Copies of this chain bind each other. A is one copy, B any other.
Amino acid sequence: MSKNLTKRSEDYSKWYNELVVKADLAENSGVRGCMVIKPYGYAIWEKMQAELDRMFKETGHQNAYFPLFIPKSYFSKEASHVDGFAKECAVVTHYRLKTSEDGKTIEVDPDAKLEEELIVRPTSETIIWDTYRKWIQSYRDLPILVNQWANVVRWEMRTRLFLRTAEFLWQEGHTAHATKQEAIAEAEQMMNVYAEFAENFMAIPVIKGVKTANERFAGAEETYCIEALMQDGKALQAGTSHFLGQNFAKAFDVKFANQEGKQDYVWATSWGVSTRLMGALVMTHSDDNGLVLPPNLAPIQVVIVPIHRSDEQLEEISAEVKTLMAQLRKLNISVKYDDRTTHKPGWKFNEYELKGVPVRIAVGPKDLENGTFEVARRDTLTKEIVAKADIANYIQDLLEKIQSELFNKAIEYRNSHITEVNSFEEFKDILDNKGGFVAAHWDGTGETEERIKELTKATIRCIALDRVEEEGKCVLTGAPSKGRVLFAKAY
């Protein structure tokens, strides 16, 4: 079986779309813009969920669940929020179907019109803050540290599997605090949790920063983000954490009695990551042969393929493999033995390469004789012969090594794609010919930001938290600037 995968250098976007489908991660459904996440793709998402959930709970959060539907009137309560989401809302207007008069089709029953239309949640701030009003009376009820795993819907016109879909899965944290400082600390903490997760689990280096006012979440006073860089030089926002000030508390009248007995509005944050991370994962590590998965997120970390000419050989090999599997499982390594006789070893090699299984072990009669295994790495496509006696620990070390080398490779690529520019010519040249982040001075106005976007399609991805303060002149207008910001074309 040939993979028939478009090469990245030929058409990166086509390569991505093909790979997501061929590697059994996801596919388009009969519903415009909505995807089916297939078992193999979902297994990766489950690993992400498990780790994130652990990290959320370790930082004191609890899960809860809020309604899918939001009454239309809730939306209007926070002005910038409705501006941000009204143009892409799925709206429920009726609650019943009926058979048409000729009995041939079913149609919406006009008698079952809702008094108030319901919006399928694009995000849950409004319904949650309407609920928090009932939960919060005094400072003793604070903080509320709640997260929700849920599906949300944003009616995007141009969709792409994982990266931009009408429905997607995510988690959304919504916290309530007695003080501004505490809420800001929470928003920063969750950005750090996301960064740790991206780097340690997904092996994706990220830049932490804040968004400009133009790019902020609708209703936020500050949006923290982590920005990653894909292999084609485009940036991808991998997670955001918002300090919402008292905006939603004011919109939904959520007050509390503070320690002095005075009434004050509650301070809020919200933060989320979504199945978009699956797209980032694919685009950071994979290659022309298929997926490359970091061991920490691979549903199958090790696959074992027998190479045999006879049933007797297969039996002997299987006995050997049984021992090996027990050893590996003892080390919490997830391992699959593919002893199907309906497929040839070459077909299997190809298949697991496509699916990004980090380590492949092949065992043939020669290996049995010599007491060895052939161990192949998916990321480097290199092979080694390893003695039976050392194998389990060797594999464990190898998985750790792959995990860290994937991260190092990605960080090298990323670091070599942050380019400082000092003129608009240079700015355009780097964007067009090299890609990546362009570190440039900017005069701090939304107008300039907008103008640069029109001229180049690049947006300010973030003002990095660790940026160096330096005097400079805006790359477009020449007006003074106090430090560089990171521009890029983005997903």
Contacts and interface: CB of A to CB of B under 8 A. Distances in A.
Interface residues of A, number: 64
A65 B37 contact: yes
B36 A66 contact: yes
Contact of A120 (B88, B105, B119, B120): B120
A34 interface: yes
Interface string A73-89: 01110000010001111
Interface in A39-71: 39, 42-43, 45-46, 62-71
A63 B39 contact: yes
B93 A108 contact: yes
Of A63, A64, A72, most B-chain CB atoms within 10 Å: A64
Contact of A94 (B29, B43, B91): B91
Contacts of A66: 29, 36
A153 interface: yes
Given A30-B74, A95-B91, A146-B39, A68 B151 contact: yes
Interface string A93-123: 1111111000001111000000001111000
A89 B97 contact: yes
Contact of A92 (B76, B91, B106): B91
A106 B36 contact: no
A105 B116 CA distance: 13
A96 B119 CA distance: 9
A46 to B, nearest CB: 6
Given A39-B62, A42-B62, A65-B37, A120 B146 contact: no
Contacts of A379: none
A106 B42 contact: no
B67 A35 contact: yes
B93 A91 contact: yes
Nearest to A106: B76
Contacts of A89: 95-97
Contacts of A130: 29-30
A46 B64 CA distance: 10
B97 A65 contact: no
| Copies of this chain in the oligomer | 2
Nearest to A140: B342
A161 to B, nearest CB: 12
A86 B92 contact: no
B72 A97 contact: yes
Given A42-B65, A131-B36, A97 B92 contact: no
B31 A67 contact: yes
A106 B79 CA distance: 11
A97 B119 contact: yes
A38 interface: yes
A130 B120 CA distance: 23
A5 interface: no
A27 interface: yes
A29 B108 contact: no
B118 A106 contact: no
Interface of A: 27, 29-31, 34-39, 42-43, 45-46, 62-72, 74-76, 82, 86-99, 105-108, 117-120, 127, 130-131, 134, 140, 146, 150-151, 153, 155, 167, 169, 342
Going nearest first, the 10 A-B pairs with the smallest beta carbon separation are A34-B67, A39-B62, A86-B97, A37-B65, A95-B155, A91-B94, A31-B67, A93-B93, A39-B64, A90-B92
23 contacts: A29-B130, A29-B131, A30-B74, A30-B131, A34-B68, A36-B131, A37-B64, A39-B64, A45-B65, A72-B107, A72-B108, A87-B98, A88-B95, A88-B96, A89-B95, A89-B97, A90-B92, A91-B92, A91-B95, A93-B94, A93-B108, A95-B155, A120-B120
